[in-house]
Structure formats: structure tokens, C-alpha cells
Chains A and B, each alone.
Chain A
Amino acid sequence: MIRTENLTRRFGSRLAVDRLSIEIGAGEIVGLLGPNGAGKTTSLRMIAGIIAPTSGRAFVAGIDSAAEPARVHESIGLLTESPGFYERLSAERNLAYFARFYRAVDAPRAARAALDLVGLSDRAKDRVGTFSKGMKQRLALARALVHEPDVLLLDEPTAGLDPEAAKELRALIDGFRRVGRSILLSTHNLTEAEELSDRIAILRTRLVALDAPRTLREAREERLVRVHATGWNAAAMAAIEAENCVLQVSEADDGVVRFRLEDPSRDRPRLVALLVEHGVEILEVVEETRTLEDVYLDLVREETP
């Protein structure tokens, strides 16, 4: 549904997006992660046909976004970073206004249906100016859906929402996958990206990584065993370092030492036995797994010039 080929955008001498190539199928959610200024919003805007690429191309449902933006707009729903609305108009009038720009859309009916979908039917006649941030965000999602597009481009959909409102919105987005919509979700929220996305794209001007969250984690897995204990002594450390299965030892404060083992599952009992044998009193032994955040931070740091 969405395909980009070497999508590049410069603003003067500044390179905002560098040769982004990505493909998103029907019913797939791809989370777009990256630090501020990484080119996430610019990429969404190019795919949406709002700004033109300097080079490369973006296609939505096979239509070139730069060549035929009006046709692309018929098939996409864009949720912008700020959920802008005409505050003096009601929620229903706002949605109907946007709906009337699309062909073959019965605007009043579509507006009511979209409001119903995001649970705002009871506030349809109220002025948007009276809405909370969470309600405006849901309304913005309703606007993106009012013409029932196949493709959703969501820019920071849960930014600034309280945990409950964010959870509700995530549940709504998750539901769209099941009806076959393709979703490109730009977010700073790594937990949200991991929870919702089938694949994650990490962008820092160029595409740094693109894979399923689990695959990303596993590819950079450093299986560390963290031991919290008292009574650390030189003999114990020497004994451990003499073991072939111990690849690296790194000490931290407060009696915590991390061990990189060849195979943590196999080698952990041996490690514990050695420590006990040398009089170390173990308080806790934990195998540390890397979170998506660790992987993300590593990848972003590696890309920092």
C-alpha cells in the first residue's frame, strides 16, 4: 500500500531525509522511530503528497504522491502532530467540513460514523473549543478516518495524552490493522511502537534499521547476567575470570557486577556456585534482556556523527 524508493528531501543545504526506501503492506503497522529532526514528519508529508521529494518517489496504493497528490489524498488519512480544529464549530461540523472535500462521501453520515468510531457521538454538537486534549486527539483520528482511507499516516498520535487516553487511542489504532489498513506510525514512544508495530523503522535522516521489534532486539542481544551481592573479594573475581565461559566482567556501584557469559542459561549455575564457594553472599541474580529502548539508543548513537 505504501512504497518509497530512495525518498530524499533537502531544505537548502540541510538533508532532512536521505534515500528512504520502505514498503508497507495491507494490514501492517510500521512504527517510525527517530530523534527530533530525524525526518519522520518530513517523510510522512512526502508520502502524503504535501511536500515534494528532492529526489526519489513515494507511492500510495500505486499512485505517485508527488505526481498525483489529489488522488493520493483520497486514499490516505493523515493525523498531524497538532490536532488542529476550528474551535468555534462543533465536532460534527468540523468533520463534515473535511469530509465534503472527498468524492462520493456522504459528509453528515460519514462524520457521525467517524465520531461513533472514536466514541465521541455524545459530544457531536459541542464546540471543539470545549474539548480536552485527549478528545481532540480522538477527533483528529476521526477526521483521518472520515473518508474510510486504506492508508493511515499517524504523526505522534498519543503525544501529550494521559496514560488512559493514550491506551484508548492505541486500542483504536490496533483495531484498524484488523480491518486491513496500512499504518505508518511516527512516534517517540518506544513502548507504543513495540506494542502496535509489526515492524519498526528507525530513522536518523537515513533508514538505520527496519525489522520486527523482536528481531531488532535479538540481533543486538548481549545476554548479561547481573549479580547483586555482598562480600565481593579478589579471590572470587580471579576464579570467575579464569572460567572460559565468562567473556567479560563489568563492575557497577552498590555491589552489582555484570557478567557476559557464553551461554547464560547454561553458565549461570556455575557462576553462582563459584561465587558462593568464595564466600560471596548473593542477593539477586538476573539475566538482563535488552529492551527496544536499548537497541534504539544504540542505533541512534552509532549514527550520530
Chain B
Amino acid sequence: MIRRIRNILAKEWLGMATTPSSLLFSVVIPLLLVGQAIFLSWILPRFLAPGALGLETPGVEGLAEVDRFRVLILSQFRFFVLLIPAMVANVFATLSIVEEKVTRTLEPLLATPVRTWELLVGKTLSGAIPALLAAWASAGLFVLLVCLLGWGSLLDHVLTASWYLSLFLLTPAVSIMSFVLGVIGSSRASDAKSAQSLAVIVVFPIFALIAIQVTGLVWFTPLLTGLVALGLGVVDVLLLAAAGRLFARESIVTRWR
């Protein structure tokens, strides 16, 4: 079982490494998002009118108003970073499944002793792991840039328990969700573009999370972050079960077009 999943992972990663567009995408998207978060943290406080800040990050009392605002902006990166697995995993999923469909490799694959769930797990991990690594690498780059810009003292207020919970629970959950949605979309689509349209299902709720927090409607405490991660985990299990049904041998051979 492990041998077969490892085989799928090795082949998928080799395929990704030989597809310049997917490599470029998995590097460009994280860099853009990190750059955007840093740029907003630099530019927005410049336009802050004194006393205009109605929203406060909890635990920032004693900081200058501009730093309090900067902490608020920097804290949103934990949600920005979720966009990386959402987009990267989805692209990997659709490329992987649509390639199998276009090149008609699924039937010969299904004639080997590989189990369909092994195929699903192998493919899910092959997309979720690089997406997750890209997200974590982006978080590391973000912290590094924050320090280089002289805002290191603010990190105590940014790298909170919620930040780590988001990074290590929410990010994997979003990676898996995005990949599995990509698989489900790909099973019905004949090209990668239409399959990727399902990615918006993941991206919009992430923007909603950012909006909810920035507008001060809800502040994502560690407990709330943990609960959201748990909810996403349940959704992941349900989606995996749905994808498992789509990944039945018979369904692939007779219904996937």
C-alpha cells in the first residue's frame, strides 16, 4: 500500500517538475500574496488619520496607533496564506486528473493492482503537500521580511496561538479541501480551466474570513480558529468520501468523459 502511494507521489511530482507552468504558478502565487501583505502593511498605515482606528487587535495596548494598525494588517496574513493552498492545490489537482483523462492513462492504470483509494490518497497528497509547503515557506518569508523591514518587535503580537493554529490546522485542511474539489471538478470537466472554476468555492470563504475579521465583526481567537479548523476537517472527510465514490473504477471508466 505505502509502496504504491509512494509510486504515485513520485510520478506526480516528476510530472509537476516537468511542467514549467505549474512550477511557476506554485512559486508566483505565494510570492504575490506575501508581497501584497507586506505592501499593505507598509502603505496603509501612511494614510491612517489620527484616532481613526476603531478596530483594535486584542493585546496591543501600549503600542503607537500606527503600530497597532500595522499589527492588525500583519495579522491578516494568516488568512492570506490560506489562499496559497487553495489555489496551488487546486491547480495541481486539475492538471493531474485532466492529464490522466486527456492522455487516457486511467484505464491502463485501473488494470494494475492499484486500489482506487490508493490512487486518490496518492494524488491528494501529491497536490496537498507541495501546496502546504508553499504556504509554510511563504509564512517563513513573510516573517523574514517583517523583521528586515524593522517591524520585528510587532511579531509578538502577530505570531499568536491563533496564527499557529491557522498555519498548522487551517492550512492543511484548506489544502486537502482545495485538492479534492479540484479532483471532483476534474472528473466532470474535459479541460483544466473548467475544472479549476470550482476553486472559487474555496477562495471566497477565505476572503470572507478576512473581511469578517478586518471589519471587526468577529475576532478569530484560538478557540474560534480551532473550531473553524475542526469544521473544515469534517468537510474534508465528507469531500473525500464523495471523491472516493467518484474514484470507483467503474465510475472512472464508464462516466468520466
Give residues in A with beta carbon < 8 Å to B. Answer: 11, 45, 48, 50-52, 69-71, 73-74, 76-78, 80, 82, 84-89, 93, 97-98, 100-103, 140, 143
In the bound complex, CA of A85 to CA of B104 (Å): 7
* Beyond A51-B249, A84-B103, 14 additional pairs, beta carbon < 8 A: A48-B111, A50-B249, A50-B253, A51-B254, A70-B113, A71-B113, A78-B111, A80-B107, A80-B108, A84-B104, A85-B103, A93-B14, A100-B3, A101-B4
Are A73 and B113 in contact, CB atoms less than 8 angstroms apart? Answer: yes
> Of the candidates B19, B99, B104, B109, which one forms a contact with A82 in the assembled complex, judged by CB atoms under 8 Å apart?
B104
Are A76 and B106 in contact, CB atoms less than 8 angstroms apart? Answer: no
In the bound complex, CA of A101 to CA of B113 (Å): 6
Contacting residues, chain A, for B15 (C-beta < 8 A): 86, 88-89
CB contacts under 8 Å to A, within B43-74, are none
Contacting residues, chain B, for A89 (C-beta < 8 A): 11, 14-15, 18
Known interface pairs A50-B111, A84-B108, A100-B4. Does A69 touch B249 (Cβ–Cβ under 8 Å)? yes
> 3 tightest A-B contacts by CB?
A84-B104, A78-B111, A101-B112
Contacting residues, chain A, for B114 (C-beta < 8 A): 101
Are A76 and B254 in contact, CB atoms less than 8 angstroms apart? Answer: no
Instruction: State whether the Cβ of B31 lies closer than 8 Å to any Cβ in chain A.
Output: no
The distance from the CB of B257 to the nearest CB of chain A, in whole angstroms, is 13
Are A45 and B4 in contact, CB atoms less than 8 angstroms apart? Answer: no
In the bound complex, CA of A89 to CA of B13 (Å): 12
Contacting residues, chain B, for A86 (C-beta < 8 A): 11, 15, 99, 103, 105
Contacting residues, chain B, for A77 (C-beta < 8 A): 111
Subset of 13 A-B contacts with CB under 8 Å = A11-B254, A48-B111, A50-B111, A50-B249, A78-B111, A84-B106, A85-B103, A85-B105, A89-B11, A93-B14, A98-B108, A102-B112, A102-B113
Known interface pairs A88-B15, A100-B3. Does A140 touch B111 (Cβ–Cβ under 8 Å)? no
The distance from the CB of B3 to the nearest CB of chain A, in whole angstroms, is 7
In the bound complex, CA of A76 to CA of B221 (Å): 57
The distance from the CB of A292 to the nearest CB of chain B, in whole angstroms, is 29
Contacting residues, chain A, for B104 (C-beta < 8 A): 80, 82, 84
Are A84 and B105 in contact, CB atoms less than 8 angstroms apart? Answer: yes
Bitwise interface map of B from 170 to 185 toward A, beta carbon under 8 Å scored 1, else 0: 0000000000000000
Shortest Cβ distance from B7 into A: residue: A100
In the bound complex, CA of A140 to CA of B104 (Å): 12
The distance from the CB of B198 to the nearest CB of chain A, in whole angstroms, is 24
Shortest Cβ distance from A140 into B: residue: B108
Instruction: State whether the Cβ of B189 lies closer than 8 Å to any Cβ in chain A.
Output: no
The distance from the CB of B93 to the nearest CB of chain A, in whole angstroms, is 16
Contacting residues, chain A, for B254 (C-beta < 8 A): 11, 51
Instruction: State whether the Cβ of B115 lies closer than 8 Å to any Cβ in chain A.
Output: yes
Are B250 and A87 in contact, CB atoms less than 8 angstroms apart? Answer: no
Known interface pairs A48-B111, A100-B4. Does A88 touch B250 (Cβ–Cβ under 8 Å)? no
Contacting residues, chain A, for B253 (C-beta < 8 A): 45, 50-51
In the bound complex, CA of A1 to CA of B19 (Å): 43
Are B108 and A76 in contact, CB atoms less than 8 angstroms apart? Answer: no
In the bound complex, CA of A11 to CA of B255 (Å): 11
Contacting residues, chain B, for A82 (C-beta < 8 A): 104
The distance from the CB of A192 to the nearest CB of chain B, in whole angstroms, is 22
Contacting residues, chain A, for B18 (C-beta < 8 A): 88-89
Instruction: State whether the Cβ of B154 lies closer than 8 Å to any Cβ in chain A.
Output: no
Are A76 and B14 in contact, CB atoms less than 8 angstroms apart? Answer: no
Instruction: State whether the Cβ of B110 lies closer than 8 Å to any Cβ in chain A.
Output: yes
In the bound complex, CA of A143 to CA of B104 (Å): 14
